[in-house]
A and B are shown apart, each in its own frame.
Chain A
Amino acid sequence: DVKVTQSSRYLVKRTGEKVFLECVQDMDHENMFWYRQDPGLGLRLIYFSYDVKMKEKGDIPEGYSVSREKKERFSLILESASTNQTSMYLCASSLGRGLKPQHFGDGTRLSIL
């Protein structure tokens, strides 16, 4: 069965901290995505990657960066966490051309205090 695993289900950090969210997929998918989901705003794409070491900005990349050193792992980095980055973060992956996420992780609910 396919699996996208996010390292933490819940995370609480302080303003100004550097925060790392990790995501691993075991399906050999080329594409990986980071979304955030907020009430009333839906799913918004932060960054995506279509290959190792490749990354593209999504709709709301400000305040975030990503790293993809290995095909199975896609990391989201909050350079200096702020309270407006409190959200549910979802990692996803997909196979082949076409950037529709096919499999999502369980999500990380991040609170910035």
Chain B
Amino acid sequence: QKEVEQNSGPLSVPEGAIASLNCTYSDRGSQSFFWYRQYSGKSPELIMSIYSNGDKEDGRFTAQLNKASQYVSLLIRDSQPSDSATYLCAVNITPGNTGKLIFGQGTTLQVKP
């Protein structure tokens, strides 16, 4: 079983819709969780981090964490064509925040005008 799993997609949504990107992880002791966005041909950029159960909102982005079910989600409200990218989920599987990250394969999001 992969340590961090994402559906590779592509996930296609119409402009203005809510895009929901999901990620599951295997290590119950994981403490911190991150979302990176990677445009085609570009490097990843860190867009969200979440450390405790519940929701964390930043503009049109909301990260959701459910440690009991071992999943983390990224919601993008009012999706725009400029949100079209691959979204990488990353998990710190070491207790505390000092361990290295394990990345999922990424989900490709396509927002159609």
Contacts and interface: CB of A to CB of B under 8 A. Distances in A.
A106 B43 contact: yes
Contact of A45 (B42, B49, B100, B104): B100
Interface string A72-113: 000000000000000000100000011111101111000000
B47 to A, nearest CB: 11
**Residue from A42, A48, A104 with most neighbouring chain B CB atoms (10 Å):** A42
Contacts of A104: 43-45
Q: Range of interface residues on chain B?
A: 20 to 34
Interface of A: 40-45, 48, 58-59, 90, 97-102, 104-107
By Cβ-Cβ distance, the 10 closest A-B pairs, closest first, are A104-B43, A43-B103, A42-B105, A98-B97, A99-B100, A42-B103, A104-B44, A100-B101, A107-B43, A102-B46
Interface of B: 32, 34, 42-46, 49, 88, 90, 92, 97-106
